[in-house]
Amino acid sequence: MNNSLKRLTIAATFSLVKKSANLFISTLVPNFKNVFFKTLVFLMEPFLLPSSSSSSDHFNLYDEIDVFSSDPFPLSPTPFAHSSPEPLFLVPFRWWNEVREDLYGRGEGTSKAEVIGGIEYTASVSFVRGREDAWDDMVVEDEDMIMFEMRREVETEAGEDIHSINGNLALISEWMFLRALKWHDDAKDVEDHLGAEDDKSDLFSLQIRLSCTWEMNLLIIKISQKDNEKGAFSKACSIFGVKSCMVKVWDFSGQTIRFVDNNLLKDSSLPDKEILLELKMYGLSSCNSSQDNDNDEMMVERSNTEGSISGRLVNGDADSRSSDSTLDQSFSAGCSYGDAWILGLTGLYNLGNTCFMNSAIQCLVHTGKLVDFFLGDFQKDINVGNPLGMKGNLSIAFGDLLRKLWAPGASPFSPRMFKSVISGFAPQFSGYNQHDSQEFLAFLLDGLHEDLNRVKLKPYIESLDDDTRPDEIIAEEHWKNHLARNSSIIVDLCQGQYRSTLVCPDCRKKSVTFDPFMYLSLPLPSTTMRSMTVTVVSSHGTFLPMQVTIRVPQHGTSKDITQALCVACELKNDETLFVVEIFSNSIIRALDNSSDSIELIRDEDRLVAYRMAKEEQDYPLIEFIHYHEEKAFAYNHKEKFGFPLVARISDFSQGSEIRNLFLKLLSPFLLPQEESSYNHGEEQTYKEEAEMEELSPEDEIELLVDSDFQFVLDNKHYISKSEPIKMDEPVPISKGCRIAKVLVYWSPEIIENYDTALLSHLPQVYRPTFPLRRVESISLDKCLDAFLKEEPLGPEDMWYCPNCKKHQQASKKLDIWRLPEILVIHLKRFSYNRYFKNKLETFVDFPIDDFDLSSYLIKGDTFCHHYSLYAVSNHYGGLGGGHYTAFAQHKHKMWYEFDDHRVFAVNEDQIRTSAAYVLFYRRV
């Protein structure tokens, strides 16, 4: 059975076992589920070893299972579960030592070796020809090999003559190689952007056999033709030549000692106590044994492949396939031009609504010092015992993801394993629903901090509220207390400090605290305006309804609407407005609470403002709701129409007062009539009243039925059934009633005498037209001003005043006390409440090269307060179906757009858009 079929068979078997046991385990012992499946993986893993020793045959069990699994909560493998030798790289000593001296070099009186030391070996390199076939005197080339006999040097003898064909060599681990590769890439000038040091042919893999001769204290490395592809072995032959030579090799990885100390050689199943390892060669392919080079440094010819990359698709091949190993990839499919790499320009495939995750990741993996940290030996900082962390799993998963994105020649790949780890600790990000990139970023930064917290035992620190000492002393004490419990690369880079001041409105008690922050969440300020259309109606029947369009703050209150309407209507001093929301032809709520947010008012809502006299404010309100007959099939029924008319009334002694008030409100809607038309003059009114005085109660009811209008008091809150209003009797309205609803039934004859079209015309608060409304523009400074302004706490966030001994609605003022090296700014485009969600498309004009925060810092310090933008997380579209992308600045201030697996070069003037959601700044 070949390896591919074997993989599929075992993966399918595992999947079936998993699915069969899943129901039983999750039903009986849910907490045992993860342990069970990890045990199953451990038991089956010996059967998954490939028959070939080639590294290309290795595969990840979890990835194979995922093909068959439909479990929305897949297994989250623990990176600590299996330890394997870290990949080794053989590079020129000079190439690595430049990095070591610059990044890990000695201070005064400190040896370089005390930081990253190397074990020195003197290696005898020889070429061993294949054995001769006894039958036809032919050499069997499969037996050709290059042999290193490495003797550890205790000390170097003076005057020792070491001949080297291509300089001294360094054996380094993977993180050292990636860190060195980026260091050299960063150090190059603009004209060397595509230098030969990044030639793809300089990196290739070899399978080596390592053994140890105990008697002679030798490590023996064999590079055999039979273990390698012919092309790779030929490259090795061209590098080391066919003549025996001596070379110095420094092992900075520490792996050679690990192999011996851990007895890996003794436990080897290969003959002669050998172990099979992968060795990656870099920077040696341009040299060969025929060169006469007296220098110890490696001389690499520059590639003649030059060219512009602006405006071109980078690393966006949809047919590219990812690899589980950081460097086990086809370098010809990478992000390149000609034969050179461009490190860090690697896309991420969308797994299904995971653009939010891809956008946040791309911003983080282009944060320079964070990249350097995770390309380095970050695992030494992992705090496995932190109960608030994730046992190092999140940091290892992120580090592995970052290294894949920065690997030379990397092609787009699926971050499935990283998502699986995230989902295991944050179920809200499991599945494939849409999420917020800022919320994901907040979780990721906090999780990385706890995983990498250098504080192993957090001390208990009592918080003191002392406002008698100077702010400088209190702030420094709070910061030291914070660092005593929290110390990580995330704290070093991303955390700053607020000063928060609370003041009691009664006793003026002041409480000052200094709190750390990871990012600034800035509101789009209230100066951003919103257009609203309101229908203004007279409560005295003096004019027809009119539509007034006002502009109010986007985050304003009902008070802002009333004030804007007063100006637009030129309201007199003796007048007031009663503003309501209309729904289903009646009042649904009054906007009488001046502190209510206008964000509760949607664009499709309808508002009416009734213009009233101030002197009538103490009178109860009458709301007239209109009904008329509608014929449906063979039946007639009453249907509501128009918006209600509202007025105040003081006299409920007779029902006729209600009728007269309604006719007065309705008079502006009366159509011009001929002399024979219906007359609503005072004479007719008095005539009707005189006639009604002579009628019996039975005749009165009959007159109401036959009259033009019927008035019914909607008194269902006080009696069980609504009843008609009698013209000569008091109206049964409760004294405590704030607003009385009166249903008015129009006869078919009378409805023709009024312009009911005007009565029914009630526009929406806002109706989009083409072209759409202009997107407003504000500066980032305005957002900061809005964030730092003093404001009262909400009723749900009352502060307990220790002086007053009760909760108070204190005023709160935030100030920036300490700025971080990496400043993350979140623009609050999304607003949520119990009724609806909204997104603001406001264009925020943010600086790119020089963002000066000096005026916002209330404490002078020695750090620079100027920042430059280097990444942006964007959100396009609305709440129903949006899409996230990212902009990131790469080498030499070149900008790229990361749209999932597609990467494009863009111009700087394309960075500022109304889609900008999270901004990343670094201190200049």
Q: Which residues are catalytic?
A: 355, 883
Residue with tokens 């005007």: 758
The string of DSSP codes covering 195-259 is -GGGBGGGEEEEEEEEEEETTTTEEEEEEEGGGS-HHHHHHHHHHH-SS-EEEEEEE-S-HHHHH
Rounded to 5°, angle at Cα 843 from 837 and 846: 120
Residues 6+ apart with CB under 8 A from 431: 72, 423
Taking the C-alpha atoms of residue 859 and residue 479, their distance in angstroms, rounded to an integer, is 14
Q: Which amino acid is at 452?
A: L
Burial of 829 (0-12, 13-18, 19+ CB in 10 A): buried
- Nearest CA-CA partner of 731 in 660, 656, 675, 795: 656
Buried b (16+ CB within 10 A) or exposed e, 256-292: beebbeeebbeebeeeebbbebbbbbbbbbbbebeee
717: tokens are 């809150």
3-state secondary structure of 618: coil
Burial of 530 (0-12, 13-18, 19+ CB in 10 A): buried
Q: Residue 916 belongs to what H/E stretch?
A: strand 916-923
- Nearest CA-CA partner of 171 in 116, 115, 245, 104: 116
Burial of 360 (0-12, 13-18, 19+ CB in 10 A): buried
Integer CA distances (angstroms), 885 to 355, 357, 359, 445, in order: 7, 10, 5, 19
Residues 6+ apart with CB under 8 A from 11: 61, 64, 65, 67, 68
Taking the C-alpha atoms of residue 786 and residue 407, their distance in angstroms, rounded to an integer, is 43
Neighbours of 368 (CB within 10 A): 14
Q: Residue 394 belongs to what H/E stretch?
A: helix 393-406
The string of DSSP codes covering 279-317 is EEEES-TT--TT----SSS---PPP------TTSEES--
3-state secondary structure of 861: coil
Torsion angles phi and psi, residue 527, rounded to 5: -70, -15
Taking phi over 0 as left and psi of -120 to 50 as alpha, with beta for the rest, 167 belongs to left
